[in-house]
């Protein structure tokens, strides 16, 4: 299946505001969809299936009030260890969620079941091997999570990862990690990506679930405040250093851990509610603003960058 990344002209820019645990919610996703950007949230941010059903209904009601909104997406952890996965998938099928963002594993029939109701599935990958497996299983596009991304991150440079993925599959690629501006989207397209995934850039928006202290911490932070470690929850992730220190953890001590060693104390157990994750693009968050305004600005930057780039090419090519 080939994917039209304008989704019938409803995306004004090839951008997905990516799912962020305990950050993304229907108000954030709706604000993005209203401006022509794909919004999303993780199913596992909801306490239980009833709340997840409510969120899907909120999306349907909100989108019905808009003229030609962008489609939305839901993130499902499609791993056998996620007990909620089969029921959450059923609910997505019932609600015919247009785009499913699958992560962590790929059971054989998940992509077929999504295709059967007319949905499309984009799968998270962080290596060429992951890409190969997801492509074989039937994912429609691959989300290449590169070094510097917020949340559970990849570790490979974007140029290196895209080039390696291209050696194993020609599936469309959605680039993720460290991007913040319309110009970044154009750059990703020049590298051969079909679309981009921005998470961190939207953590401090008014609509999302972040609290004011987190928003302020994000505004103050720069790339130097991002701490990479697998010792917090077992998977390589990028964390906001000031939030670790605030919870009594010493990043320098954790950095000296041996591979496989995990933070064991009380503060670590509260990790996702108190310790904050963000990617290296955090330095581009300069204020708390509405997601709708942010989307408008990114679309404007993208269009201006395209014109400037085209003019520049005309001047510099024979």
Ligand X SMILES: Cc1cc2nc3c(=O)[nH]c(=O)nc-3n(C[C@H](O)[C@H](O)[C@H](O)COP(=O)(O)O)c2cc1C
Closer of 9 and 80 to ligand X (Cβ): 80
- Smallest separation (angstroms) from ligand X to the CB of 189: 16
User: If you search the block for the tokens 């090419």, which residue do you land on?
Assistant: 313
Task: Pull the structure tokens for residue 218.
Answer: 């994000």
- For 283-300, b where at least 16 C-beta lie within 10 A, e where not — what string? bbbeeeeebbebbeebbe
Distance of alpha carbon 138 from alpha carbon 118, whole angstroms: 14
Question: Quick one: 18 or 34, whose CB is closer to ligand X?
Answer: 18
Distance CA 207, CA 182 (A): 21
Rounded to a whole number of angstroms, the minimum distance from the CB of residue 64 to ligand X is: 26
Q: 19 vs 62, which CB is nearer to ligand X?
A: 19
**In the complex, residue closest to ligand X by CB:** 199
User: Measured from the CB atom, is 68 or 216 closer to ligand X?
Assistant: 216
| CB nearer to ligand X: pick between 179 and 232 | 179
- Which CB, 67 or 187, lies closer to ligand X? 187
Identify the CA nearest to 49 among candidates 74, 15, 16, 80: 74
Report the interface residues with ligand X, using CB under 6 A.
Answer: 18-21, 23, 42, 75, 103, 124, 145, 148-151, 176-179, 197-201, 277-279, 281
CB of 39: closest distance to ligand X in angstroms?
12
Dihedral Cα 26, 185, 158, 254, nearest 10 deg: -50
Task: Give least dist CB 316 to ligand X, A.
Answer: 30
Rounded least distance, CB 178 to ligand X, Å = 5
Token output for 316: 């510099």
In the numeric block, the tokens 């708390």 are attached to 288
In the complex, what is the shortest distance from the CB of residue 143 to ligand X, in angstroms, rounded to a whole number? 7
Alpha-carbon distance of 236 to 227, in angstroms, equals 10
Order across the sheet with 226-229: list the strands. 151-152, 237-240, 226-229
Report the nearest approach of ligand X to the CB of residue 307 (Å): 25
Cβ closest to ligand X, residue 28 vs residue 315 = 28
Cβ-Cβ contacts under 8 Å for 142 (sequence gap 6 or more): 122, 123, 125, 131, 134, 135, 165, 169, 171, 172, 173, 174
């Amino acid at each position: 299946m080939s994917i039209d990344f304008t989704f019938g002209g409803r995306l004004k820019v090839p951008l997905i505001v990516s799912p962020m645990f305990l950050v993304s919610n229907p108000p954030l996703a709706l604000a993005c969809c209203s401006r022509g950007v794909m919004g999303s949230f993780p199913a596992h941010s909801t306490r239980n299936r009833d709340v997840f059903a409510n969120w899907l209904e909120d999306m349907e009601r909100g989108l019905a009030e808009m003229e030609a909104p962008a489609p939305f997406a839901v993130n499902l952890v499609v791993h056998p260890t996620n007990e909620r996965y089969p029921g959450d998938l059923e609910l997505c099928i019932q609600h015919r969620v247009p785009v499913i963002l699958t992560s962590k594993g790929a059971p054989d029939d998940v992509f077929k079941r999504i295709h059967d109701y007319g949905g499309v599935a984009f799968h998270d990958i962080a290596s060429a091997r992951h890409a190969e497996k997801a492509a074989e299983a039937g994912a429609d596009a691959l989300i290449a999570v590169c070094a510097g991304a917020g949340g559970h991150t990849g570790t490979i440079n974007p140029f290196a990862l895209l080039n390696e993925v291209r050696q194993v599959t020609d599936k469309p690629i959605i680039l993720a990690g460290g991007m913040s501006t319309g110009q970044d989207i154009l750059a990703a397209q020049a590298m051969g990506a079909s679309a981009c995934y921005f998470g961190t850039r939207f953590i401090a928006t008014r609509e999302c679930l972040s609290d004011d202290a987190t928003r302020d911490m994000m505004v103050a932070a720069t790339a130097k405040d991002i701490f990479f470690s697998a010792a917090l929850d077992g998977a390589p992730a990028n964390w906001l250093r000031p939030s670790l220190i605030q919870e009594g953890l010493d990043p320098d001590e954790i950095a000296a851990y041996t591979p496989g060693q995990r933070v064991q104390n009380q503060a670590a157990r509260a990790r996702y509610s108190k310790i904050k994750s963000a990617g290296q693009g955090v330095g581009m968050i300069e204020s708390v603003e509405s997601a709708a305004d942010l989307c408008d600005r990114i679309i404007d930057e993208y269009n201006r960058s395209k014109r400037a780039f085209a003019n520049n090419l005309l001047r510099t090519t024979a």
